[in-house]
Structures are given as C-alpha cells and as structure tokens.
Amino acid sequence: MPAEAALLAVESITKHFSGVTALSDVSLDIHPGEILGLLGENGAGKSTLLKILSGVMPPSSGRIIFDGADYAPSSPQDAKRLGIVTIYQELSLIPTLTVAENIFIGRAPVGSLGLVNWRRMEASSRDIIARVGLSIDPMTPVSALSVAEQQLVEIARALSLQSRLIIMDEPTSALTETEVQRLLSIMDRLRQDKVAIMFVTHRLEEASAICDRMTVLRDGRLAGHLDRDKGRPIQLPRIIEKMVGRAASELYARPAQRAVAGDIVLSVRGLRTVRDPEAPHAIVLDGVDIDVKAGEILGVAGLVGSGRTELARAIFGADRIAAGTITLGGKQIAPASPADAIALGIGLVPEDRKHQAIFAALGILPNFSVASLGHFSNGFGFMAERRERDALSGFRKMLSIRMASAEQAIEGLSGGNQQKVILARWLARDPKVLIVDEPTRGVDVGAKAEVHQILVQLAARGIAVMMISSELPEVLAVSDRIVTMRRGRITGEMPGVEANEEKLMELMALDSQDALGRDAEGQAR
C-alpha cells in the first residue's frame, strides 16, 4: 500500500473469554481513503474485533494505534469522540424524531436563551445529508424513511462528527439492489474524501466490487489479506478459499442432474392480491401461474420487491388472496391461515429467520416441534416428550445439526444450525410442498452448501420444493427448473441446466436497464 502512514493499525490482538480464545493474534491496518473489507464466516471473530474497535470491550493483549497514538477507547462514546464510528445492522436512530434532531442529538445548536435554534439545525442538516446524496426534508421523522435512507442518515451523522474511520457492519443486508448501488457509490465518494471505511459483509460480490483490500478471518485467526490485482476487483474464488479454507468450486457445485418425473403437486393459477393497508410496502401479485412437481426444486428468482415473498405468503395462507386458484394434489384449496395451509401439507421456511421463524429464548426442542404439537402429543393434550426427542435426534443426525442439547436456547446456535432446526420443524410434518424463502440468508458460506444438499435430499424424497432466492449462484446450484419474477408477475421459465446468471438477471430486471448495466459491472470479474 501507499507510503502514507496507516490510520488504524491493529497489532496482534488477542481476546480471551474466560479461557476460550475468540481472537488470536490478529493484525490489520487501514489507510485514509481506503475501503477495507472484513470478511469471515459467523464465528470467525468479526464481531469480537468490531466490539474491540468500537470500544465495547478491550482486547486481552495486543496494541491498536489510531492516527499515530495508542487507541484504547473506554466506551463506544469514547471511540466516537476519537473519530471511529461503527454503524450496526440494527440502526441506532430514534424513529420518532426528525432527521435533523437525530443528526444533532445531544448537540443541538442553541440560541441565546438556551433554546434550540431550529432554523440553523435544519440548514446544517440539509448540508450534512447532501454529502451522502440524500435530498429529503431534514424535518421528516426518521420512521418515514426507508431502511436505506436511514442508513445514509447514520453515515451522514458519522461524517458530521468528523469521523476518520467508519465501520459498517453488514450495511447492505436490508437494502434493495438499487439502494446497494447507491450506498456503494457513496462509499466510493467518501473514499475520495480520504475517509477510511471498514466494510463488514457477507455479500462477497459487493465486497469484491468496492473493496481496495480485504482482511479475512477464520476461527478467530487471520486467514489472510487480499489485495486488488493490478486494480482489478478481488475475485470471489480467492475470497471464498480464504474464508473456508478450501476451494470455492466445492461450494456452489451443482448436484448431478436428477431425473424428475413427478406429478404436479402444487398448481397456482391467476393468483392476485390487493394492497393491504397494514402492509403498504408489500408487492401486489398480478396474475401468477406456477406449478411445482413432486421431487423437483423449483427456483424462484427475483430481486427485492419482485413479489417472490408475497407469492410464498399467499400460497401459505399468511396473506389474503383476491383472485386465482391454488390446487394441491389435484384438489383446489383456499387456505385462510398458515394453520390451514400447514394442515394441508404445506410448509414455509420464512425469509426473516429472527422475526418470523425462531423463538429465540426457547430451547431447540420446542422450536423444533412447534408446528407439529398435535403429532407429538397424546389424545389428552400431553406432550409425548420421548417421541419428540427421538424425532429431534433423528433429524440432528440427518441434517448434522451441531448443538449441545435439546434444551439449549436456539439463539445460541449459528445461523446455519438455526436454519437446519427450522427445516427439521417442517420435515417432522412430512410436507407435500416445502417453500423456502432465502434459505441461506445469514448462513455461513460453509453451511450454505449443507443447506443446499438438504434441499436436494428433500426433493429426492418426493417433496415438491419451491426455493425463493435473490442469490443467483444459489438458484443455479440447486434448481431443477427456474422461474423469474418481476413486479408481481412471472417473467420467464427455464430448466436449471439451461440457465445462467445473465439470462436470469435479464428476466428479473428487464425494465430497469440502468440497474442491469450496473449489476453487470458489479459481476465483472
């Protein structure tokens, strides 16, 4: 890197938690005007490192130098004062206050009487948010902003605090493709302004597109640093290899093509929904036709806002249907609630695991059996715990769920293992149709392949699997047949073997040439 001194230098940091080593001898550095990617699977030590840098806790040993001086923040506030701001996934804005109030929280400009000078606050806020390309009224309450806009407000606030280093923890996980592009271009602008950015992410494509360098952690140790190769983006296989310690080709390896000759199990015709005033952001389905056969995996590819999740929810009885028919095993059905759909033999692994699938504080056992309480209880309503435990341990083996005990709280498991418990929840019901929505979101790279294998196994057992995903490599890796969605409609269909990313992307984003062009750029290797 340039001869310029590093803004932040982490020198062989180690962190123990009562005897257990979470971080071991990790070093990295970051220069002004540089975007450093921090990558690693869950459990690699990223969050521990983040906590140390943001002042949540001190390292057990090692040294951090920031701007030429020893850096040992006593609290997150202290870190901020020193010029390092961390922007977490869970945004820290106060939703009921305005953008301006949030930016100036705790330091509002006051007039001679000690009262807030609103005019000045509004004007300065306008300048501050313009720096991140926002043109909203600073007097808008934050709750009225999209997640992406809120994130930009946080970045704007960080800049107004004269931050020299901004740490972004998974900033793109809740953004649409267009919003991601906007965020990346703002990061690029900040880079030109000599701000240093540490970009923590699971999304390798984005990291590859924007990062100057990457530091990869694995099992609490430094797996390596990656540099751009003559200015070209760091390539995904290199990153993946560092992250998992084996070659990327094993990860998205397409399973051998299976002969699928099943009957149509689920058939949807002319499915329409209407706008629900309680969920104004949901996409309206506009005449969707879809068939899923026994033993096949139907991949449903669509960008955020294409209606893919709404399709799943409508079939599952979670959202109201305005028109159209759903046929299951030759019989027309009209599930009015998830309970109805489940009783008919449909299962859904929802996209937002934390809010829609797991019972965080409860043990693995109740999380597993919640959808089949009838099956695991006797005629008097008492749980047949022996049977329940036996079933769980069967699935534990079958899906290789790594857990300590059936009583362990599910939130202690990694994302991949949580997802396996949710899959087991549905398998216990032996469903005819299993809908999985973003099955590997928040799942480690290594565990992704395992989840894919499981889906293939399930299809092989004759279950009709419908897999919704925005990750094209994933769709391509496991689907026997692929349909694409855009704006509440099906825009195309093709056998999995004939599909490739370009074809799918075209069908998913046809009417927005702009997004397509930019995406093609992002995909360039």
Partner 1 sequence: MSIAEEQDQRGGVTIARLLMSFGPLLFLAALVIVFTVLKPSFIDPINLFNITRQISITGLIALGMTFVILTAGIDLSVGSLLAFCGMVAAVVAKGGAANTLSLSTSGTQGYGWFAALLAAVIVGAAAGGVQGLAITRLKVPPFVVTLGGLTVFRGLTLTISNGGPISGFDASMRWFGTGLIGPVPVPAIIFAIAAILCHIVLRYTRYGRAVYAVGGNAEAARLSGLRVDRILVSVYVIVGFFAGLAAFVLSARLNSSEAVAGIGYELTVISAVVIGGTSLFGGIGSVGGTVVGAALIGVLQNGLQFNNVSSYTQSIVIGLILILAVAFDRWLKSRVRR
Binding of partner 1 by 336 (CB under 8 A): no
CA distance 394 to 429: 14
CA distance 348 to 315: 10
Q: Which stretch binds partner 1 (CB under 8 A): 165-173, 179-187, 192-200, 353-361?
A: 353-361
Binding of partner 1 by 360 (CB under 8 A): yes
Residues 1-20 that bind partner 1 (CB under 8 A): 17-20
| x-or-dash string of contact with partner 1, 403-442, rule CB under 8 A | -x-------x-x----------x-----------------
> Residue 463 Cβ, how far from partner 1 at the closest point, in Å?
17
Is residue 144 within 8 A of residue 481, CB to CB? The reply is: no
Binding of partner 1 by 383 (CB under 8 A): yes
> Residue 181 Cβ, how far from partner 1 at the closest point, in Å?
31
> Residue 486 Cβ, how far from partner 1 at the closest point, in Å?
25
> Residue 378 Cβ, how far from partner 1 at the closest point, in Å?
9
Pairing of strands 331-333, 323-328: antiparallel
C-beta of 59 vs 350, nearer to partner 1: 350
C-beta of 252 vs 316, nearer to partner 1: 316
Binding of partner 1 by 350 (CB under 8 A): yes
> Residue 130 Cβ, how far from partner 1 at the closest point, in Å?
38
> Residue 366 Cβ, how far from partner 1 at the closest point, in Å?
6
> Residue 89 Cβ, how far from partner 1 at the closest point, in Å?
13
Q: How many CB atoms lie within 10 A of CB 176?
A: 17
Is residue 169 within 8 A of residue 87, CB to CB? The reply is: yes
At 215, give phi and psi (nearest 5°).
-120, 125
* Two structure tokens written together for 41: 């699977």
Binding of partner 1 by 76 (CB under 8 A): no
Q: Helices 445-460 and 236-244 sit at what angle, rounded to 10 degrees?
A: 90
Binding of partner 1 by 304 (CB under 8 A): no
> Residue 365 Cβ, how far from partner 1 at the closest point, in Å?
9
C-beta of 87 vs 371, nearer to partner 1: 371
CA distance 360 to 411: 5
DSSP characters over 72-88: --SSHHHHHHHTEEEE-
C-beta of 424 vs 483, nearer to partner 1: 424
Task: For residue 311, give every residue at least 6 positions away whose Cβ sits within 8 Å of its Cβ, in sequence order, or none.
Answer: 268, 271, 285, 288, 290, 300, 468, 485
- Beta strands across the sheet bearing 331-333: 286-293, 264-272, 323-328, 331-333
> Residue 12 Cβ, how far from partner 1 at the closest point, in Å?
17
> Residue 22 Cβ, how far from partner 1 at the closest point, in Å?
4
Q: Which stretch binds partner 1 (CB under 8 A): 3-11, 166-174, 359-367, 483-491?
A: 359-367
The distance from CA 481 to its chain's CA centroid, rounded to whole angstroms, is: 24
Residue 492 burial by Cβ neighbours in a 10 Å radius (0-12, 13-18, 19+):
middle
Q: Which stretch binds partner 1 (CB under 8 A): 73-81, 320-328, 333-341, 451-459?
A: 333-341
Q: Which stretch binds partner 1 (CB under 8 A): 26-34, 204-212, 378-386, 478-486?
A: 378-386
Radius of gyration from C-alpha coordinates of the chain: 25
Coil, strand or helix at 490: strand
Q: Helices 415-427 and 385-398 sit at what angle, rounded to 10 degrees?
A: 120
C-beta of 22 vs 483, nearer to partner 1: 22
Q: Which stretch binds partner 1 (CB under 8 A): 5-13, 44-52, 129-137, 231-239?
A: 44-52
| H helix intervals, 193-295 | 204-210, 236-244
Q: Which stretch binds partner 1 (CB under 8 A): 108-116, 207-215, 352-360, 476-484?
A: 352-360
Q: Count residues contacting partner 1 (CB under 8 A)? A: 49
CA distance 509 to 492: 11
CA distance 221 to 48: 12
Binding of partner 1 by 386 (CB under 8 A): no
Place of tokens 């990061």: 187
Residues 199-228 that bind partner 1 (CB under 8 A): 219-220
Binding of partner 1 by 58 (CB under 8 A): no
CA distance 288 to 283: 12
- Interface residues with partner 1 (CB under 8 A) are 17-23, 42-45, 47-48, 219-220, 316, 318, 337-339, 341-343, 348, 350, 355-362, 366, 369-371, 373-374, 376-377, 381-383, 385, 404, 412, 414, 425
